[in-house]
Amino acid sequence: METPADPFYRQLPKVELHAHLNGSVSSETMEQLIARKPQLNIEHSMTAIRSGQRRTLDECFQVFKVIHQLVDSEEDILMVAKAVIQEFAADGVKYLELRSTPREETKTGLSKRRYVETVIEAIHQCKQEGVDIDVRFLVAIDRRNGTKVAMETVKLAEDFMLSSNGVVVGLDLSGDPTVGHGRDLLPALQKARNCGLKLALHLSEIPSQKEESELLLDLPPDRIGHGTFLHPEVGGSDTLVDKVCKQKIPIELCLTSNVTGQTVPSYDQHHFKYWYTRGHPCVLCTDDKGVFCTDLSQEYQLAASTFRLSQEDVWDLSQQAIHCSFAPEPVKQQLEQKWAKLRPVCLMSDTDEPSTPPLFYMDVPSRPALTSVLEKENG
Ligand code: IMP
Ligand code: ZN
């Protein structure tokens, strides 16, 4: 990460709902992993994409293969998961839903069950150590691995949903969008839904997934990851948009990830604008903060500067994310209380005469005004 976000964004209490564990490993932790495994000859430049650089989606997925070589034992997973949780907490994230694909590694004796248990152990240890963050876990299906593995993953997720004391709350569908078809995963996803797992599905990450998105939206998912090509302006369709809007399915939006992976040409053309100006629930997320060298504060700042959001707008975005989470209702209420307490610390009303220089000031339009600005820009 090159430049930290401004204090306002760092102090803002935040909710992170789309973070892949192995994509979130910081450069500091990566240094330790590389030092532990010198025989792999992995250099730091192979595990992260510096800001301003662009990669094809395929190149981004190659990076995960390298990281997986470095994180292949219980010990590694425990270290990585604890560090990632602590880093999100240090960035002002108060509620985090981590997701990860359980892997087995014969070399180290790691099983998929132990993989999930180790992530849960990391979450417990952070809680015991007093890290100020509530963490939940989504078990991920890698679409590349097909029907049978997807079904096994759902079974694993269901077992942990019942035995983890509320830590495992749902299922993620992710992996290289150019590989496999969602139709083959439908039975597994339906089973997951029926047993009470929440569904966060990567959807329409690339233009060719229209048919798949139609199918998956009928489940329906509880949240959409990216949804880059859903809307008609980029080759999606009104039918897809209607399905998303009617069911008010929140969309997890990851600006840096999409621009770096070149599925979105530039920040100002990010589909955040399309959904946000329609008042649809949007949640800013990092996706892979380690790989894309970002953090959630930076993503908020980026959205604010690109789309001219006021502090109030930014606050509302972060608060709205509470209700898009898979947290149980009492936890959402506790988070609401936390936000209410922190609001006067973070936001200063226009009439307040600041005794110290404001943390952040930008004379920008509020949300209705933003809508009209964008409408004018779009002719
Ligand atoms: P892990 O599941 O903790 O190992 O995190 C890395 C994995 O997350 C990758 O191997 C992909 O399967 C998935 N992933 C990370 N970022 C993306 C994305 O932008 N689209 C789809 N899948 C992703
Ligand atoms: Zn993702």
3-state secondary structure (DSSP) of residue 10: helix
Tell me which amino acid residue 46 is: M
Angle of CA points 216, 221, 226, to nearest 5°: 85
Q: Known catalytic residue: 2?
A: no
* Cα(23) to centroid(ligand 1), Å: 7
On whether residue 75 sits in a domain, the answer given is: yes
Verify whether ligand 1 is closer than 6 Å to residue 229 (CB atom): no
Tell me which amino acid residue 2 is: E
Separation between Cα atoms, residue 263 and residue 61, nearest integer Å: 13
CATH number of the domain where residue 310 is located: 3.20.20.140
Ligand closest to Cα of 72 equals: 1
Query: Ligand 1: which residue has its CA nearest to atom 12?
Result: 175
On whether residue 117 sits in a domain, the answer given is: yes
Strand arrangement of the beta sheet that strand 93-100 belongs to: 14-20, 93-100, 134-142, 168-174, 198-203, 223-226, 251-253, 282-284
On whether residue 1 sits in a domain, the answer given is: no
Reported residue count of the chain is 379
Count of CA atoms in the C-beta half-sphere (13 A) of 106:
0
Q: Which domain holds residue 214?
A: 7-377
Separation between Cα atoms, residue 203 and residue 222, nearest integer Å: 12
What is the predicted pLDDT for the residue at 2?
Answer: 67
Number of domains in the chain: 1
* Cα(211) to centroid(ligand 2), Å: 20
Tell me the best of 24, 61, 97, 138 to mutate to test the pocket of ligand 1, counting ligand atoms within 8 Å of each CB and taking the most. Answer: 61
What is the predicted pLDDT for the residue at 107?
Answer: 94
Q: Which residue reads 């009104």 in tokens?
A: 238
- What's the pTM? 0.93
On whether residue 2 sits in a domain, the answer given is: no
Separation between Cα atoms, residue 256 and residue 254, nearest integer Å: 6
What is the predicted pLDDT for the residue at 348?
Answer: 74
Ligand closest to Cα of 177 equals: 1
What is the predicted pLDDT for the residue at 1?
Answer: 61
Contact, 180 vs 153, CB < 8 A?
A: no
On whether residue 235 sits in a domain, the answer given is: yes
User: For the chain, what is the largest distance between any 2 Cα atoms, rounded to a whole number of angstroms?
Assistant: 63
Which stretches of the chain drop beneath a pLDDT of 70? 1-2, 349-379
Residues, Cβ < 5 Å to ion ligand 2:
287
Looking at ligand 1, which atom is closest to the CA of residue 64?
Answer: 10
Look up residue 12 and give its two tokens: 């803002």
Ligand closest to Cα of 175 equals: 1
